[in-house]
Amino acid sequence: MRWQIPLLIVFIGGVFMAVQYFVPLEFSERIYEYCVDWIIIVGVFAMGLGLWSLFRVSVSKIQTKAPAWKYNFLTLAGLFSMILLGLFSGIEEGKAFMKLFWYIYTPIQASMFALLAFYVASAAYRAFRARTLVATILLLTAVVIMLRLIPLGSVSGLNQNVASWILTVPNMAAKRAIAMGIGLGGIATALKVVLGIERSYMGKD
Amino acid sequence: MKNKFVIRNKVLPIFLLLFSFFLFGLHTSSAQEMGIPVAAPISSAEVPAPPMNVAAKDAPNDNGHAIIVKWKLSADDGAGNKNVLSYEIWRSDNPDTGFVLRGLVPAGTSQYLDRGARDKEDKNYFPSHKNFYYIIRARSDGSYSESTVSAPAYAYGQWIHTGKLSILFTTALFTFFVVLFINWAKKGKKLYVRPIAGIDAIDEAIGRATEMGRPILYILGLGSAGELGTIASLTILNRVAKKTAEYQTPLLVPVADPVVLTVAQEAVKAGYYEAGRPDAYKEDSVWYITSMQFAYVSAVNGLMLRERTATNIYMGVFYAESLLLAETGNVAGSIQISGTDQVAQIPFFVAATDYTLIGEELYAASAYLGKEPLLLGAIKAQDWGKILIMISLILGVLAASFHLDFIVNLFRIKL
């Protein structure tokens, strides 16, 4: 029964979700929304487990003096200060919680995102080295696509047309082919889970 | 005398007439400025011809809270006096009285979807199975004309969305293939599936990590547990955990979603059990970091650089963090294998990692790694599905080239 009940829930849930997509009736919508509400409820409870996991791993690293264990103090300090400030001083604009969010967390996050520009440059440098015929085609294509953003006088019109053709014909065809494969793969994976063929996510005792 | 006569009989009347116009203009402009509606002069010439043939019927493929109203345009809409500016849609549950304005559409429009809310508490509640009557009012600048009252119509929900029938049919056909090939596999029929370099490399990468005595880092991405990419990644994680347990190589799985955390812990635990090494499983090898995208990236990047992981496996749903992670892994000198169903992120992974599973290969990977015939059956079905898509595309292109739209219409989806 320990296996049959979860598998039955997955089967009923999976079949219902597939069927409700084709049934626009009100009760179908209401059950769907009810299920989605449950996802939120499960997510909220799971957040507790997540925080406990983070706390336990951080404490364990501090206790065992794992490499760079001092950073775990910062992690725990950040975790508890935000929780306590949120609980006791509120999360309204202007409160300490929101100040920490706007003036510490947001700039740090923006900085991380900004690093992406440099990573793109270094990845492009490696990817565009013309060592093989295919890599050379990739390089030339990339040059044409990048140059479309730069005014090049009389050449601009031609370059725009070539770049537009690359984006709307071969590029679009490849993207759609990948998307179709993803669609089929998604249905196959969903079927494997719903039919109980794939059950590795359920764990073992 | 002559001058007096001119002033009295010609100039004065003209002056008085102009002055009265001035006063009238002053009155109307100041009234308009004050927001007081001013009755526009109505003359019979300005009243547009009324809309005709108003017909209301239930809106198709919905939950039963909408009616679609159609009418024949006023004769003065784009023709005749050309003075129709808009149409107002009025509704009542009584054909004689109680009409309320439901919507406004510009001239040239001959239908309106009167959609309301489903819940009784909502102000815009639209009851099902209740008769409603409609009037369409053609408006010109300051005047209007009304159609006759429509026949009653009521809204009701449909049992099947006919606009999605092509999806239903295709899904049913593909499901048939999956079940068919799984049954063949069950009966012991050998199924050939083409090799995928990225999947073969996973074994190699685990072996490399074992030789180097360094851990393997497995990233599930930022997807939730409900996303198929994450589910596929969890099944791959199970296979990877089984192999790392066999080789006794440490496995690190930092997670960005608390629900995924619990499932990932179970998947890794199952892998260790299947390898016959449940004692080697450490619960802390799968842990939660944060759900915030770039905070997660910084934590994982730090982990890569500190632990010098031998192998990094990125499988699942990735967004802008894909390149940040993969480039850092490259700097750390790790062998990297990636796979995602996010089309926009595939080029980044191709550029920055050693092997990439593109799109559907991510879904096939767990079956390849497990080498279980039942799971391989689904891959075979995918291949057949692709063959059918290719045939449909070729037929569709040929038919469209000869202006035969029936194949295109066969696949058209009306949401």
Residue range A34-63, pLDDT digits in tens: 999 998 999 999 999 999 999 999 999 999
The minimum CA-CA distance between A121 and chain B, rounded to whole Å, is 10
Q: Which of B371, B386, B409 is the last residue of a domain?
A: B371
Structural domain includes residue B310: yes
Nearest by CB: B270 against A113, A116, A203: A203
Q: Are residues A14 and A78 in the same domain?
A: yes
**Is the same domain home to B141 and B198?**
no
**Hey, what's the torsion of the CAs at A123, A129, A134, A136, to 10 degrees?**
120
Q: Which residue of B has its CA nearest to A195?
A: B179
* Counted domains in chain B: 2
Instruction: Decide if B8 is inside a domain.
Output: no
Residue A202 confidence (pLDDT) above 70: yes
Residue A174 counted as domain residue = no
Q: Which two tokens stand for residue B303?
A: 């982990």
The answer to the question of residue A34 being in a domain is: yes
Residue B35 confidence (pLDDT):
37
SS3 assignment, position B334: coil
d(CA B26, CA B145) in angstroms, rounded, equals 30
In angstroms, the CA B295 to CA A54 distance is 14
Residue B248, C-beta contacts closer than 8 angstroms, at least 6 positions apart: B210, B277, B280
Structural domain ending residue among the three candidates B118, B146, B174: B146
Same domain, B195 and B114: no
**Residue A136 within any structural domain of the chain:** no
Cα(B394)–Cα(A138) distance, rounded to whole angstroms? Answer: 27
pLDDT per position as a tens digit, A23-33:
999 999 999 99
Say whether both A51 and A106 belong to one domain.
Answer: no
Residue-level pLDDT at B366:
77
Asked if A191 reaches chain B (Cβ–Cβ under 8 Å), the answer is: yes
A45 in a domain, yes or no?
yes
- Last residue of one domain, picked from the residues A126, A147, A172: A126
Assess whether A34 and A103 both reside in one domain. Answer: no
Q: Is residue A9 part of a domain?
A: yes
Query: How many whole angstroms from its chain centre is CA B199?
Result: 31
Token pair for residue B59? Answer: 């809106």
The predicted pLDDT at position B36 comes to 37
Per the CB < 8 Å rule, is A200 touching B168?
A: no
- Residue pLDDT tens, chain B, 415 long: 445 544 555 555 555 444 444 444 444 444 344 333 333 444 445 899 999 999 999 999 999 999 999 999 999 999 998 899 999 999 999 999 999 999 999 999 999 999 999 999 999 999 999 999 999 999 998 899 999 999 999 999 999 999 999 999 999 999 999 889 888 888 888 777 778 888 888 888 999 999 999 999 999 999 998 898 999 999 999 999 999 999 999 999 999 999 999 999 999 999 999 999 999 999 889 999 999 999 999 999 999 999 999 999 999 999 999 999 999 999 999 999 999 999 999 999 999 999 999 988 898 887 787 777 777 888 888 888 999 999 999 999 999 999 988 888 888 888 7
Residue B356: beta bridge partners? Answer: B338
CA dist., res. B209 & res. A4, Å (int)? 38
Beta bridge partners of B286: B253
Both A80 and A60 in one domain: the answer is yes
- Domain limit, last residue, from B336, B354, B371: B371
Residue B204 lies in a domain: yes
Domain membership of residue A54 (yes or no) is yes
- Same domain for A57 and A113? no
Chain mean position to CA B9: 76
Mark whether A2 and A80 lie in a shared domain: yes
Question: Which residue of chain A has the CA closest to B252?
Answer: A57
Domain containing B58 equals 52-146
Task: Identify any residues that bridge with B317 across adjacent strands, giving them in sequence order.
Answer: B221
Residues A81 and A97 in one domain: no
Residue B210 has which token pair?
A: 């074992």
Please check whether residues A53 and A97 belong to one and the same domain.
no
For B65-172, strand residue ranges (E) read: 66-72, 86-92, 100-106, 111-115, 133-139, 144-146
A112 touches B: beta carbon within 8 Å:
yes
> Which residues lie below 8 Å from residue B332, measured CB to CB, with a gap of 6+?
B304, B305, B308, B309
- Write out the two tokens for B110: 């001959």
Count of domains observed in chain A: 2
Query: Residue B232 belongs to what H/E stretch?
Result: helix B228-247
CA distance B271 to A200: 8
Q: How far apart are CA B10 and CA B72, in angstroms?
A: 52
Q: How far apart are CA A99 and CA A196, in angstroms?
A: 49
- Alpha-helical regions (H) of A22-89: 26-64, 71-88
Same domain, A69 and A112: no
CA distance B358 to B381: 18
Instruction: Please report whether residue A205 resides in a domain.
Output: no
Helices A26-64, B258-274: crossing angle, 10 deg rounding: 70
* Cross-chain CB nearest to B362 (options A39, A108, A185): A185
| Chain A residues closer than 8 Å to B171 by CB | 18, 187
Encoded tokens for A150? 């730069």
**Alpha-carbon gap, residue B325 to B7, rounded angstroms:** 93
Q: What angle do CA B289, B293, B296 make, to 5 degrees?
A: 30
Confidence of residue A205 (pLDDT cuts 50, 70, 90): low
Terminal CA-to-CA distance of chain A, rounded, Å?
Answer: 14
Give the DSSP H/E element, type plus range, for residue B355. strand B355-358
Amino acid at B372: E
Per DSSP bridges, beta strands B86-92 and B100-106 are antiparallel
pLDDT at B273: 92
Strands of the sheet with B144-146, listed across from one edge: B100-106, B86-92, B133-139, B144-146
- Domain membership flag for residue B404: no
Is B245 found in the same domain as B356?
yes
| Cβ separation A184–B378 shorter than 8 A | no
Q: The domain containing residue A119 runs over which residues?
A: 90-126
**Do B128 and B62 share a structural domain?**
yes
In a domain, B413, yes or no: no
- pLDDT computed for residue A68 by the predictor: 85
Helix (H) or strand (E) holding B54: strand B52-58
- Do A75 and A11 belong to one domain? yes
Question: Among the three residues A40, A72, A88, which one is the final residue of a domain in this structure?
Answer: A88
Nearest Cα of chain A lies from the Cα of B61 at a distance, in angstroms, of 6
- pLDDT given for residue B40 in this prediction: 42
The answer on A80 and A19 residing in a single domain is: yes
Q: Is B166 a domain residue?
A: no
> Which helix (H) or strand (E) element contains residue B315?
strand B311-317
Q: Which helix (DSSP H) or strand (DSSP E) does residue B306 occupy?
A: helix B293-307
Residues B282 and B141 placed together within one structural domain of the fold: no
Q: A110 and A69 in one domain? A: no
How many angstroms separate the CA atoms of B63 and B126, rounded?
Answer: 11
The answer as to whether A35 is a domain residue is: yes
Instruction: Clarify whether residues B230 and B360 are in a common domain.
Output: yes
- CATH number of domain containing B98: 2.60.40.10
Q: Which of residues 130-169 of A touch B (CB under 8 A)?
A: none
Same domain flag for B352 and B231? yes
- Cβ–Cβ below 8 Å for A49 and B262: yes
Summarised one tens digit per residue, pLDDT across range A161-182 is 999 999 999 999 999 999 999 9
